[in-house]
Chain A
């Protein structure tokens, strides 16, 4: 297991730093495992506590298994002005959890993300990595009822 992590990290180190390595490890497991953090610490000559400290700064890095449908809404100011709050309320109502939570059956998770760079078409929502812009409360409800990920 550890050698696998080391390989992934070595490959990532060719083109980038610790963040790239973290993303590569996340791609492998779906989230950053405790062993992965320790492996990163060894590779970058850091203490595990420091690696974890760094990783938790970024909301795209996860530390527990993820849900089937991941909904992320932009936290940026333009999205806020364009009405992301209403969209959040609509999504919360539709899937029955508050932002930052995960449904018990593991089907949905809902959280903020950093600016998606789509300020010209705010508010922006990512559903399983697919970008949706100019989202309205009605639009997102329809989208989620259709079955989200396929869209």
Chain B
């Protein structure tokens, strides 16, 4: 790695010659605000929030897309830049259908009030992202309070056709994150940008609604959206109704990824929130049984192992195996020939559902109709499965759980830790092979290769961690030159 010296804000730093100004500054602890850039995707420089002053350049340069040069002199926070960023935010907000920036509390409040919790107390702003919106945070940072332009009231129809992923174009800031994830990472090629200038819009394929479009509902666009333009259907009221209802028992599954996200939302010092605190919080809002996902993950892995063993006997070529509903849809849509070959096994969410409906309800003499199952997930990845296959009754993303806690006044950070309930399984069921251990979704292009031993045979396998990788792997299978015996899709 070649290092060069550049001058940032009057101080000389030695930085990687291949990096951008943003990367160089961030590596040295200098904060440059951003709205559109995401790690892992080439920068589009569409939001112009990260502009910096580069000596010798005629105009401000976007830090996320400008490479460093030897002897470059950069200023990241001059008065002129602050003014430019504020103007950009004002222009964005003048076409953004929210009135959270009119709120007196923003910009006028004491330091303590800047806690998102404070904002959530307001009764007027009904945006799902209130308190964890990147645009709102920037508006707060740059004190965008009263707009110098008339607010343009855009009134486009909110697309609720899928029932799980909701698209509200009125709140879109055209940052392109969702488009890039949909096209470059997931290669679903659904979301695209149409028209131009101030009429620019982000729409599913050919301006269809989401249900008729090729969307596979992987939910990754929801995870990257900085505002409330893309979100998973909320179930706060229903969840609270059932948890407060004595006649109906509720059980929640908290996935381990949620804990990381919750720590971020609650601004905790630790990288993850302890599961015991989440359990205590959920119990407080009235959830009767709370489970963590270690055992269901292993049960799911075991189910995968069984399905794989069965498939290996009959299938002489590559076995494609998945527990993801989105992947199932993706394969059916893009590789119709391979779809009948696809082997599916139960995801942790479905295992949880089966366990609760069969064993638990039977053991405790409960009627399944008196049961409501809640899955707490990191983002929007499992919402479609819940909505279309009714595997669980409600999927609550970490963001919504956070909002439920804030709205009900339950602060899990201050509660006495409680142990989660345990799922009882016979020891012969476990353990399963490491091959089916949980894998996180990633933006990587490199495919994870692995080898493992199953009933005495060495098996060469690949694990796809996003749908883009699935596309590459299945293309090989279709052409008959796949080097793998097993392809596991986790996307």
Residues of A near any B CB (own CB < 8 A): 34, 37, 47-50, 52-53, 56-57, 63
**A56 to B183 alpha-carbon distance, docked (Å):** 18
Is B16 close to A, CB under 8 A?
no
Q: Is the CB of B192 within 8 A of A53?
A: yes
Q: Is the CB of A57 within 8 A of B196?
A: yes
A50 CB contact (under 8 Å) in B189, B195, B196, B204? B189
**A52 to B196 alpha-carbon distance, docked (Å):** 12
B192 CB contact (under 8 Å) in A34, A52, A63? A52
Chain B residue numbers with a CB within 8 Å of A49 are 183, 189-192, 204-206, 214
Q: Is the CB of B189 within 8 A of A52?
A: no
Which chain A residue lies CB-closest to B206?
A: A52
Chain A residue numbers with a CB within 8 Å of B204 are 49
Known: A47-B189, A49-B190. A37 touches B196 (CB 8 A): no
Chain A residue numbers with a CB within 8 Å of B158 are none
Is B224 close to A, CB under 8 A?
no
| Chain A-chain B contacts (Cβ-Cβ < 8 Å), number | 31
Determine the main DSSP class of A at the interface with B: helix
CB distance from B290 to the nearest CB of A (A): 41
**A100 to B196 alpha-carbon distance, docked (Å):** 14
Mask, B411-424, CB within 8 Å of A = 1, is 00000000000000
B194 CB contact (under 8 Å) in A34, A47, A56? A56
For this complex, 14 residue pairs linking A to B, each with C-beta atoms less than 8 Å apart, are A48-B205, A49-B183, A49-B189, A49-B191, A49-B192, A49-B204, A49-B206, A49-B214, A50-B189, A52-B192, A52-B206, A52-B207, A56-B195, A63-B207
Task: With A48-B206, A52-B207, A53-B192 given, name 6 new contacts (CB 8 A).
Answer: A34-B206, A47-B189, A48-B205, A49-B192, A49-B206, A56-B194
Most chain A beta carbons < 10 A, residue from B194, B195, B206: B206
Is B92 close to A, CB under 8 A?
no
* Chain B interfacial residues counted at CB < 8 A: 14
**A16 to B343 alpha-carbon distance, docked (Å):** 45
Chain B residue numbers with a CB within 8 Å of A50 are 189, 192
Q: Is the CB of A53 within 8 A of B189?
A: no
Chain A residue numbers with a CB within 8 Å of B195 are 56-57
B193 CB contact (under 8 Å) in A37, A48, A53? A53
**A50 to B192 alpha-carbon distance, docked (Å):** 7
Which chain B residue lies CB-closest to A38?
A: B206
**A56 to B197 alpha-carbon distance, docked (Å):** 11
CB distance from A114 to the nearest CB of B (A): 11
Most chain B beta carbons < 10 A, residue from A34, A37, A53: A53
- List residues 172-215 of chain B with CB under 8 A from any CB of chain A: 183, 189-196, 204-207, 214
**A50 to B204 alpha-carbon distance, docked (Å):** 11
**A50 to B414 alpha-carbon distance, docked (Å):** 50
Chain A residue numbers with a CB within 8 Å of B191 are 49
Chain A residue numbers with a CB within 8 Å of B193 are 53
Chain A residue numbers with a CB within 8 Å of B205 are 47-49, 52
Chain A residue numbers with a CB within 8 Å of B192 are 49-50, 52-53
CB distance from A75 to the nearest CB of B (A): 10
Which chain A residue lies CB-closest to B189?
A: A47
CB distance from A65 to the nearest CB of B (A): 16
CB distance from B329 to the nearest CB of A (A): 16
**A49 to B212 alpha-carbon distance, docked (Å):** 13
Which chain B residue lies CB-closest to A55?
A: B194
Chain B residue numbers with a CB within 8 Å of A47 are 189, 205
Chain B residue numbers with a CB within 8 Å of A56 are 194-196
**A48 to B196 alpha-carbon distance, docked (Å):** 18
CB distance from B196 to the nearest CB of A (A): 5
CB distance from A77 to the nearest CB of B (A): 14
Which chain B residue lies CB-closest to A47?
A: B189
Q: Is the CB of B206 within 8 A of A37?
A: yes
Closest 6 CB pairs of A and B: A47-B189, A56-B194, A49-B192, A49-B205, A53-B192, A52-B206
**A37 to B205 alpha-carbon distance, docked (Å):** 11
